[in-house]
Amino acid sequence: MIPASFAYHAPQSVAEAVSLLEQHGDEAKILAGGHSLLPALKLRLSQPGVLIDISRIGELQGIHVGSSIEIGAGATYAAVAGHAGVRSGCAVLAECVEQIGDIQVRNRGTVGGALAHADPAADLPAVLLALGGSVSAQGPGGSRTIAADDLFVEMLTTALEPNEVVTKVTVPALGKGEGAAYSKLKHPASRYAIVGVAAYVKLAADGSVAAARIAVTGAGPKAERQSAAEAALVGSAGDDAAVAAAAAAAGDDMEYLGDIHASEDYRRAMVKVYTRRAVAAALSRARA
């Protein structure tokens, strides 16, 4: 037996899961796809007394595509990557999740789980920030929506309360004149982002950049918007000079983490390189 002992519950509804969280308090952890939690349990870095497995809750599985795209928190990466409506309405999301881990990881890992876990090297936080998306969560007092900008508090910490369950993730369906892209330097074995940059742009009628959101993951303790890089783009013609200015401004005002795979300095340099790639790709899609 590798993990420490725990009691296991598999509720059939979100309400039942919330009530179990209320009942067990700090002792309980939510289990979804398990691809962040089970490795932590196996190292005994996490030793919860109770696991609440939400993977059997049908209401968390659906994907709905309309003017916005609503993804059930329990939808796997593979389900999102293979969803035709997601691919046509918000291709960057499919592009992001199909770069996560490998197919076996994508068959189990969930969108809601990744965002609730907030691993500093996870891909989705950057994309959610760039798209201006949100997560919905249900707790004992009902449901609420948390904007991506308010979600990521610090390393492995979100604005979710301990007694809340993420129910869905909402991102906009992109229209004409809008484009988004995700570009990442991946660790060759784990495929976690050493640096990942997501960019979203919206063009005005005259072709200039009306709005831009850029977010970086992997480089520091949490995924972060890059306001200086965004400011360098907005109002510009979105030409090569503007892309270069955005890349140059990226990553100057954020906290970095270095490790055996890449130093802080290397990550700082790569933030600029991958910002340039992501912004250029987003612009090209917005013009298509």
Partner 1 sequence: MALLMHPANNGVLQAEGHTLVRFCWQHIEEVSKVSTITVTVNGKTYTNDVEPRTLLVHYLREHLNLTGTHIGCDTSQCGACVVHVNGQSVKSCTMLAVQADGASVTTIEGIAPAGELHPLQEGFWECHGLQCGYCTPGMIMAAADLLQHNPSPSDDEIRHGLEGNLCRCTGYHNIVRAVQYAAAKMRGEEVSA
The residue ranges that bind partner 1 (CB under 8 A) are: 1-8, 10, 31, 34-35, 38-39, 41-47, 51, 53, 55, 78, 101-105, 107-108, 119-121, 155-156, 189-192, 221, 257-261
* CA distance linking residue 124 with residue 96, whole number of Å: 7
| DSSP 8-state class, residue 276 | H
Most distant CA pair in the chain, distance: 63
Q: How far is the CB of 119 from partner 1 (least distance, A)?
A: 8
35/213 with CB nearer partner 1: 35
Q: Least Å distance between CB 233 and partner 1? A: 29
Min dist CB 38 to partner 1, Å, is: 5
Rounded to a whole number of angstroms, the minimum distance from the CB of residue 153 to partner 1 is 14
The encoded tokens of residue 269 equal 């340099």
State how far the Cα of 182 lies from the Cα of 95, in Å rounded to an integer: 7
DSSP line for 176-220: TTEEEEEEEEE-TTT--EEEEEEEEEEE-TTSSEEEEEEEEESSS
Query: Which tokens hold the place of 109?
Result: 């890992």
Report, in Å, the least distance between residue 39 CB and partner 1: 6
Q: 3 or 132: whose CB is closer to partner 1?
A: 3
- Determine the residue type at 249: A
In the bound state with partner 1, the residue whose beta carbon lies nearer, of 2 and 84, is: 2
152-154 and 157-158 beta bridge pairing: antiparallel
Q: Which is nearer to partner 1, 69 or 262 (CB)?
A: 262
CB of 191 to partner 1, least distance (A): 8
Neighbours of 39 (CB within 10 A): 12
CB of 106 to partner 1, least distance (A): 9
198 contacts 130 by C-beta, under 8 angstroms = yes
C-beta closer to partner 1: residue 36 or 170: 36
SS3 88: helix
Of the candidates 96, 94, 92, 89, which has an alpha carbon nearest to the alpha carbon of residue 67?
A: 89
Kindly tell me which of 197 and 242 has the beta carbon lying closer to partner 1: 197
Q: Which is nearer to partner 1, 97 or 280 (CB)?
A: 97
Q: Say which residue the tokens 């270069």 belong to.
A: 244
